[in-house]
Amino acid sequence: MSDEEAVITIAAPDALFASILDIAVDAIIVVSSSQHILHFNQGASQVFGYLPEEMVGRPLADLMPDRYRGGHSAQVEQFRGSEERARRMGDRRDISGLRKDGTEFPAEASISRLETRHGSIYTVVLRDITARTLRERNERFLAEAGGLLGTSLDVGRTLQALANVPVPFLAEGCVVDVVGPDGSWQRQVSRSDDAALHAALDAIGKETLTWDSPWRAIDAMRGRRVEVVPTITDDWLEGHTDTVAELARLMALKARAALFVPLVARDHVLGALTLFRTSAAPFAPEQVALAQALGTRAAYALDNARLYTMAQRATRAREDVLSVVSHDLGNPLAAIRLCAAALLEAPPSDAKEVRHLVQAIGNSADWMSRLIQDLLDVSTIEVGKLSVERRTEQVAPIVKQALAMVAPQANQRGVTLQSEVDASVSAVHGDAARLIQVLTNLLGNSLKYTERGGSVTVAGTARGDEVLLTVRDTGSGIPAEQLPRIFERYYTRKRGANKSGSGLGLSIARGIVEAHGGRIWVESCVGEGTCFFVALPAAR
């Protein structure tokens, strides 16, 4: 064999070896016993950014972050002294590599040892696991976010959790804007340990959006798509605000990039997330995708909280209906029973008196029918809006009919009813039946706390553009500490026997008065009686 043939024979395995290694996607690095690189394949070149000719002959430590270089030689010596010939990727902890541009990346590696007459040769197979690590981090983030968003079915707490979840994993700050089923807007902002950023967020949190706002969150909601703003400038902010004050508040955030994510659940747009960064780094595509995934989970968490709240309201509404029925039907039902008993047990000989009792029964039945019809409208009761049919009504007939409704109860308790309506009092613009309901509730309350021999007086006077109705009793009075709560639902004063009640009468009275654009309040002194005031707009 010639010398030339011998060189070819020796070189052939090396060329074949190199070509096989270059096909591999993973980085394959062959290292001498002195930890200098003998071979650097194309996979390693793609992972680290070096050309093979740049790395052959250089120390392997050049591919490691500084913190790993000190202990690496000791680990190699330990491996060389062991009986192991190879360590697979699954057997070693994750490590970090150092690219040519100075950036680090997570990796996993396996190593094998081959003993030759020239010493030990090591082959390292290294895999860049940046994508896998990022995917796992994102999955953990979404899992943790789902857990935090699912800890409460309270809408307020869900919104606060939603604002805080993306910080600081995705952004330095977050603003959540949601629109309710009734069209009202609500805003929640994230918290921050940075005092200046926290103050800026707090100022923004006090504002709310409208569908006409130029903020990009509205575009995200209307288009049901993510809106990305890679660079925020003062000019951009000026073009997306309405007022100078709003512009100043947004500039205080010092946001450099923003991401607007719509919140859509069950094909309903609930609101939008605004994620912003104070650093110059824009949102990468995988971060945009992660924000979209978070938005989907957040939307369903918010939707579940809303549905739960609606279910609770429906339950309370049902209970309120039952309570209101039992409470408000009590007065006309008592009148019917007393009138019917009078007709059966001691019928008057005077036909006019008989007619008066029968008419009282008919009036009470009509009033019960009106109450039942209104109470069947559960949705109206749930939002606190009772039906009001306004007309120009005279005050005296309203007071007279209310007194007639409670007259049997007053007679039974031995309490005198009086009417003091000024002849000059203006008419009111309101629903007569509803105003009668107000007066009967107030009268019923006064009768309940007025002892035998006392009196209850209904008065009507003109006061500017208003008509002032008063219901004054000579009862026991209301302690000062109870006055602020007297119009609350289910609040009942308990002083003495036979003072039970559902606690809805005064609350209903307040709701009706406020629906008329009026005001209701109470003044009382223990031992001297109570006076309820109802101010209603006068008819023009």
pLDDT in tens, 445-495: 899 899 999 999 999 999 888 999 999 999 989 998 888 888 876 566 554
CATH of 134-310 given 1.10.260.40, 3.40.50.300, 3.40.50.261, 3.30.450.40: 3.30.450.40
Give the mean model confidence (pLDDT) for residues 202-226.
92
CA distances for 346 relative to 336, 404, 407, angstroms: 15, 20, 18
pLDDT band at 407; cut points 50, 70, 90: very high
Q: Which pLDDT value is given to residue 521?
A: 94
Indicate the DSSP class of residue 144. H
Inter-axis angle of helices 395-413 and 432-448, to 10 degrees? 30
Range from 1-10, 37-46, 110-119, 244-253 carrying the lowest mean pLDDT: 1-10
Topology match between the domains 134-310 and 384-537: no
> Average pLDDT, whole number, for the chain?
84
Looking at the chain, the whole-number percentage of residues with pLDDT higher than 90 is 41
* Cα gap 324→318, rounded to integer Å: 10
Closest to 218 in 3D by CA, of 190, 249, 187, 243: 187
Residues 52 and 79: beta-carbon distance below 8 Å: no
> For residues 123 and 488, which has the higher predicted lDDT (pLDDT)?
123
pLDDT band at 40; cut points 50, 70, 90: very high
Q: Which pLDDT value is given to residue 5?
A: 39
Most confident of 64-73, 79-88, 290-299: 290-299
Range from 17-31, 52-66, 257-271 carrying the lowest mean pLDDT: 17-31
Closest to 483 in 3D by CA, of 516, 524, 424, 519: 524
Range from 212-226, 335-349, 437-451, 486-500 carrying the lowest mean pLDDT: 486-500
Query: Which tokens sit at 185?
Result: 């807007």
pLDDT band at 395; cut points 50, 70, 90: very high
> Is 498 exposed, middle or buried, given 0-12, 13-18 or 19+ CB atoms closer than 10 A?
exposed
Q: 3-state DSSP call for residue 297?
A: helix
pLDDT of 221 over the 90 cut:
yes
pLDDT of 51 over the 50 cut:
yes
Residue by residue, DSSP assigns 315-382 as HHHHHHHHHHHHHHTHHHHHHHHHHHHHHHHS--SSHHHHHHHHHHHHHHHHHHHHHHHHHT-HHHHH
pLDDT of 229 over the 50 cut:
yes
Closest to 272 in 3D by CA, of 401, 385, 380, 175: 175
pLDDT of 175 over the 80 cut:
yes
**Residues with Cβ within 8 Å of residue 193, at least 6 apart in sequence:** none
Classify strands 455-463 and 416-421 as parallel, antiparallel or unpaired: parallel
Domain segments of the chain as ranges:
3-128, 134-310, 384-537
Helices (H), ranges, 414-504: 432-448
Give the mean model confidence (pLDDT) for residues 158-163.
91
Q: Which pLDDT value is given to residue 217?
A: 93
Q: Which pLDDT value is given to residue 492?
A: 63
Q: Which pLDDT value is given to residue 504?
A: 64
Q: 3-state DSSP call for residue 56?
A: coil
- Does domain 384-537 bear CATH number 3.30.565.10? yes
How is domain 3-128 classified at the CATH fold level? Beta-Lactamase (3.30.450)
At residue 268, what are phi and psi to the nearest 5 degrees? -115, 135
Q: Which pLDDT value is given to residue 22?
A: 67
Q: Which pLDDT value is given to residue 81?
A: 61
